[in-house]
């Protein structure tokens, strides 16, 4: 795993090596083992390496034998030996054992279509010197990040936003619509970033810059089209197990120590079970928990660890975790409100003391329909009979009469705005809540209550795509294209790379994703039981308690923390005149939120957390007196 960054000058200048070195230094956590800088005409390329495969080879930037192509690569190509063998039949010869060289020669052979042959996680850049062309691509599911900015003078790119901001001329113009989206979804998604002048390359897309012209094109997307007619259940089970075993096996290739995150839930336990089945020394497993009852899965993880005979490690996260907030904001680059970033940060830090690579169970809820909101959306289909005028004229006013954030108001609001297409799908703050919080200037900029970010369809997905599908398939497709890359994978990438740990997600092998997209929904969510097919496949590998435990996300007891240990921290920061002067929120609303939460009358912990993150982000990246870059 690595960090990449660079500059292409558009007006004949030569990139400044000092700037490239600063960009690389800002990414040192992603690649602590080695740094490489190359200036090739108008292009400057910077690389930080975390050595995983072919430790003595694979140095970057890597040039081909002719010296015309130069590659920067962040990630792993799991099928690189298969691609290498095919290239060798076409006359290619290799000087290293690295997947980096295979990727470079794959581009030589197939050009932009090389991405269609890759199975892995990656963001890479190739500079074609004779054509003065830059080509970049990101993996299918969006595991590895790629930020860029195009100014009149230069094109700047990097694995993280902070590296892009290190280049001259990149503006720091905060986009109010992106702030609104952050509060709608708890992240800023798709190609947009929190800054107007910086963009993200979407997953499964490539980018070409030639003669100052920028082209972005999508090369793959999953297609949730359940088989019709469906095959026998036994056939699906057999193929699922074969694909899953292969996906885990591919991700166990490493020249450095390797382990796994283990929560005790179905997905992470499944990964560890398949790793253990491969034989060899006991799998090293890592779990974090909390002192607060109802939040810790430590005992569940212990049961699985004992059953599989792993070398198990644990750590408890306490309220002083707020001390890492500045580091969290620094490493996440953009406002990010999923508070499970906290335990993810700690489990990655613990794992790195023992291993350099950790496998995770990310993607299982999207793949096998594991989210509880899928069942809730099915239950809410009974609302479909209510005429739209009745929802607007009766349910909406009833909702308006209740206090902001009250559970009954949220339920009425969801009913009033229920979508026949996607069900109730909001993940963050409802528009009425934002409207209640926003200062007049903010409401003017984003509209009354802002956009309904949680209900918007991801780019490239239309109503015509979704309408022929059942509701569960619709929700899975939306989550796979939006929530998965922009929340789940962002969370794990930033937390793991902050500690120079490579995280691999076997459940997101694209062959497995394509297969499960064809499996009928009744084999994913059946009778209120999620992940039906996956659970049935795993029954012979895991203890029964894994399948009977209540579903529990990687939640943080922040509700209790903000009433006790962190009450003073929240008040001091959110009521600071510097915070209130930003003009996003009405000061009296912030005071009311804090008072009602502290009194136990409302659980506003999600709101408080997001507001803290947003303020810390401004101080870290925007305010001249305190920003770190």
Q: Where are the alpha helices (DSSP H) in 396-504?
A: 396-400, 407-416, 431-437, 440-446, 463-466, 471-481, 483, 490-498
pLDDT tens by residue, 303-343:
999 999 999 999 998 877 678 999 999 999 999 999 999 99
Identify whether the C-beta of residue 200 lies closer than 8 Å to the C-beta of residue 485.
Answer: no
- Measured between alpha carbons, how far is 74 from 76 in angstroms, rounded to an integer? 7
Answer whether residue 427 shows pLDDT above 70.
Answer: no
The CA-atom distances, in angstroms, between 474 and each of 221, 223, 248, 446 are 14, 10, 27, 28
Answer whether residue 255 shows pLDDT above 90.
Answer: no
Confidence category of residue 453, pLDDT binned at 50, 70, 90: very low
Instruction: Give span(s): CATH 3.60.20.10, the chain.
Output: 2-218
Closest CA to 242 of 550, 591, 509, 437: 509
pLDDT tens by residue, 89-102:
999 999 999 999 99
Confidence category of residue 587, pLDDT binned at 50, 70, 90: very high
Confidence category of residue 397, pLDDT binned at 50, 70, 90: confident
Identify whether the C-beta of residue 497 lies closer than 8 Å to the C-beta of residue 332.
Answer: no
Identify whether the C-beta of residue 565 lies closer than 8 Å to the C-beta of residue 278.
Answer: no
State the chain's maximal CA–CA distance in angstroms. Answer: 73
Bigger pLDDT: 46 or 550?
46
H or E segment to which residue 331 belongs:
helix 325-332
Instruction: Give span(s): CATH 3.40.50.620, the chain.
Output: 233-369+482-548
What mean pLDDT do residues 384-408 have? 73
pLDDT tens by residue, 360-380:
999 999 999 999 989 988 887
- Measured between alpha carbons, how far is 360 from 260 in angstroms, rounded to an integer? 6
Q: What is the CA radius of gyration of the chain?
A: 24
- Measured between alpha carbons, how far is 256 from 281 in angstroms, rounded to an integer? 14
What predicted TM-score, i.e. pTM, was given to this entire model? 0.94
H or E segment to which residue 386 belongs:
none
Report whether CATH 3.60.20.10 matches the domain 2-218.
yes
- Both structure tokens of 51: 């050595």
pLDDT tens by residue, 229-242:
999 999 999 999 99
Amino acid 348: pLDDT: 97
Fold of 233-369+482-548: Rossmann fold (3.40.50)
């Amino acid at each position: 795993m690595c960090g990449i960054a660079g500059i292409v000058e558009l007006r004949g200048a030569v990139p400044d090596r000092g700037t490239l070195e600063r960009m690389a230094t800002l990414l040192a956590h992603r690649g602590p083992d080695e740094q490489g800088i190359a200036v090739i005409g108008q292009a400057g390329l910077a690389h930080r390496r975390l050595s995983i495969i072919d430790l003595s080879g694979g140095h970057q930037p890597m040039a081909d034998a002719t010296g015309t192509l130069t590659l920067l690569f962040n990630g792993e190509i799991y099928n690189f030996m298969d691609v290498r063998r095919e290239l060798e039949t076409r006359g290619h010869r290799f000087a290293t054992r690295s997947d980096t060289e295979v990727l470079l020669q794959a581009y030589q052979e197939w050009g932009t279509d090389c991405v269609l042959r890759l199975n892995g996680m990656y963001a890479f850049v190739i500079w074609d010197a004779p054509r003065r062309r830059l080509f970049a691509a990101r993996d299918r599911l969006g595991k590895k990040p790629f930020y860029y900015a195009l100014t009149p003078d230069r094109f700047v790119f990097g694995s993280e936003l902070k590296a892009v901001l290190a280049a001259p001329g990149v503006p720091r113009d905060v986009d109010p619509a992106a702030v609104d989206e952050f509060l709608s979804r708890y992240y800023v998604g798709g190609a947009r970033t929190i800054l107007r002048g910086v963009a993200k390359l979407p997953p499964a897309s490539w980018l070409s810059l030639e003669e100052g012209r920028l082209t972005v094109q999508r090369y793959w997307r999953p297609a949730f089209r359940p088989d019709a007619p469906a095959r026998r259940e036994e056939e699906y089970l057999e193929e699922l197990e074969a694909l899953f075993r292969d996906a885990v096996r591919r991700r166990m290739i490493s020249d450095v120590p390797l382990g796994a995150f283990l929560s005790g839930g179905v997905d992470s336990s499944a990964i560890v079970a398949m790793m253990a089945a491969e034989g060899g020394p006991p799998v090293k497993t890592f779990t974090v928990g909390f002192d607060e009852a109802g939040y810790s899965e430590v005992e569940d993880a212990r049961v699985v660890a004992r059953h599989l005979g792993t070398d198990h490690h644990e750590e408890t996260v306490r309220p002083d975790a707020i001390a890492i907030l500045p580091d969290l904001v620094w490493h996440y680059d953009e406002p990010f409100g999923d508070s499970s970033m906290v335990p993810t940060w700690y489990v990655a830090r613990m794992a790195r003391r023992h291993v350099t690579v950790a496998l995770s169970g990310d993607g299982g809820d999207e793949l096998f329909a594991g989210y509880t909101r899928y069942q809730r959306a099915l239950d809410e289909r009974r609302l479909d009979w209510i005429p739209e005028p009745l929802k607007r004229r009766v349910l909406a006013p009833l909702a308006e009469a209740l206090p902001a954030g009250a559970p009954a108001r949220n339920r009425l609001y969801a009913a009033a705005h229920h979508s026949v297409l996607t069900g109730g799908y909001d993940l963050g703050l409802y528009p009425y809540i934002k409207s209640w919080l926003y200062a007049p200037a903010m409401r003017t900029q984003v509209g009354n209550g802002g956009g309904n970010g949680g209900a918007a369809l991801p780019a490239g997905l239309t109503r015509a795509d979704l309408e022929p599908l059942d509701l569960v398939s619709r929700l899975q497709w939306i989550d796979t294209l939006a929530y998965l890359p922009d929340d789940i994978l962002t969370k794990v990438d930033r937390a793991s790379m902050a500690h120079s740990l490579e995280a691999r997600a076997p459940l997101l092998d694209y062959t497995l994703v394509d297969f499960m997209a064809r499996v009928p929904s009744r084999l994913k969510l059946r009778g209120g039981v999620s992940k039906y097919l996956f659970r049935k496949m795993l029954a012979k590998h895991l203890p029964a308690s894994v399948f009977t435990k209540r579903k529990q996300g990687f939640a943080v007891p922040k509700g209790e923390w903000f009433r006790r240990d962190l009450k003073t921290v929240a008040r001091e920061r959110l009521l600071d005149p510097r915070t209130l002067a930003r003009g996003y929120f009405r000061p009296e609303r912030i005071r009311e939120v804090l008072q009602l939460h502290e009194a136990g009358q409302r659980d506003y912990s999600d709101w408080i957390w997001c507001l803290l993150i947003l303020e810390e982000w401004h101080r870290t990246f925007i305010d001249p007196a305190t920003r770190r870059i």
